[in-house]
Amino acid sequence: MSQNGLLLVNLGSPKSPSTKDVKIYLKAFLSDQNVVTLPKWFWQPLLRGIILPLRTWRSATYYRHMWTQAGSPLTVYTEMMQRKVQAILKDWDVQYAMNYGGPTIGDCLHQMQDNGDDHIVVLPLFPNYTQSTHDTIIEKVKASGVPTTIIKHFDDQPTYQKILASQVDECYVQKNYDTVVFTYHGIPMSMIKKGDPYEKECQQTTANVQKYLQQVPDNKVLTVFQSKFGPMPWLKPYLKNTLMELAAMGKRNVLLVTPSFVEDCLETIEENNVQNYQTFRSSGGKVLDAVPPMNASDAFCQFVADLSEQKLRGKGDVNEGTAK
């Protein structure tokens, strides 16, 4: 029996917080040339000989801090989202895959095809398009040979913007915050110079969400980037530097908004709640809170379901992307 299918694709996570599993995950992630664009002949010896030996044990420590009894928060919330969206789209086949690790994109698409899914929508769970998150997903989808329709980004959807604005307003009124910082995952400046639209999309996301904010004054909002990796210049301003500057200016109560991360993960739990919090406090800051990610909320799951149906109906401006 033919049916529609929806494949939710997230970044992925190590199987466990063990050093061995974290190394396997990091090797796959950092070997992706859409993530690190340096030539393989130069990058691979550096990755295997220096970066993995130095980085793996530290990353494994971070993963152990955030790991739950149910597993990695990113995986737990992705599974929860899949179940909730499936409950909404009762006549669809809703599955999830990971770009790094399992379940793999190709295996899931072939299984969905075997299940009789003749119209499959693929939704990467990243609001803003960039080469480093989307292109490998698109390549793997095309390599599967299964016809699909890909939603390349959803930051421009008013419903998504309203959901995020509502979350920000709800958190903002709880304390007397001096600044609201929209912090996006950074990418190398070299990608922007080659035409990647990510920076413009992020700036536009902040501006669009501001239109729906009811409680936050425009002059309290900043846009920054986090998670810089390596010595090369990345998108600025950097979150860590901004936090130190805000503390020095006497703005000691800050609320973070993390649109790049629709679910809690290493960046939200460990990087922001621990590392950036410590930096802020040591610089004189007092309160560093964060608006929780979507985390499979009812409103976000309904949005995902509606967006997928809208894409197949061909109504509205849901951005391009067909893989065959």
164 and 277 within one domain: yes
Q: State the Cα–Cα distance between residues 18 and 98, nearest whole angstrom.
A: 19
Report the pLDDT value the prediction gives residue 318, as an integer from 0 to 100.
Answer: 46
My answer on whether 14 and 144 are in the same domain is: yes
Q: Are residues 196 and 250 in the same domain?
A: yes
117 vs 140: CA distance, rounded Å: 18
Cα–Cα distance for residue pair 13/73, rounded to 1 Å: 9
pLDDT confidence bin for 314, thresholds 50/70/90: confident
Q: Are residues 81 and 182 in the same domain?
A: no
Q: Which of 55, 76, 58, 78 is nearest to 67 (CA)?
A: 76
pLDDT band per the 50, 70, 90 thresholds, residue 317: very low
Q: What is the CATH number of the domain that holds 273?
A: 3.40.50.1400
- Are 123 and 255 within one domain? no
pLDDT value at 217 more than 50: yes
Same domain assignment for residues 111 and 206 = no
pLDDT at 222 over 60: yes
Over residues 77-100, the mean pLDDT reads 98
Q: Are strands 3-12 and 93-100 parallel, antiparallel or unpaired?
A: parallel
| The total number of structural domains that make up the chain | 2
Question: Is 185 annotated in some ligand binding site?
Answer: yes
Q: How much is the pLDDT for 322?
A: 54
pLDDT surpassing 70 at residue 315: no
Same domain for 239 and 301, yes or no, is no
Averaged pLDDT, 227-234: 91
pLDDT attached to residue 324: 46
Q: Do 319 and 239 share a structural domain? A: no
Q: Is there a single domain that holds both residue 150 and residue 165?
A: no
Q: Tell me the one-letter amino acid at 236.
A: K
Query: Do 15 and 63 belong together in one domain?
Result: yes
pLDDT averaged over every residue in the chain: 95
Residue 2 confidence (pLDDT)? 76
Residue 101's nearest CA partner among 32, 41, 174 is: 32
What residues make up the domain containing 116?
3-154+297-323
My answer on whether 247 and 318 are in the same domain is: no
Residue 195 has pLDDT above 90, yes or no: yes
Is 110 annotated to bind a ligand? Reply is no
What values do phi and psi take at 296, rounded to 5? 60, 35
pLDDT at 316 exceeding the cut of 60? no
Q: What is the pTM (predicted TM-score) of this model?
A: 0.95
Confidence tier at 313 by pLDDT (50, 70, 90): confident
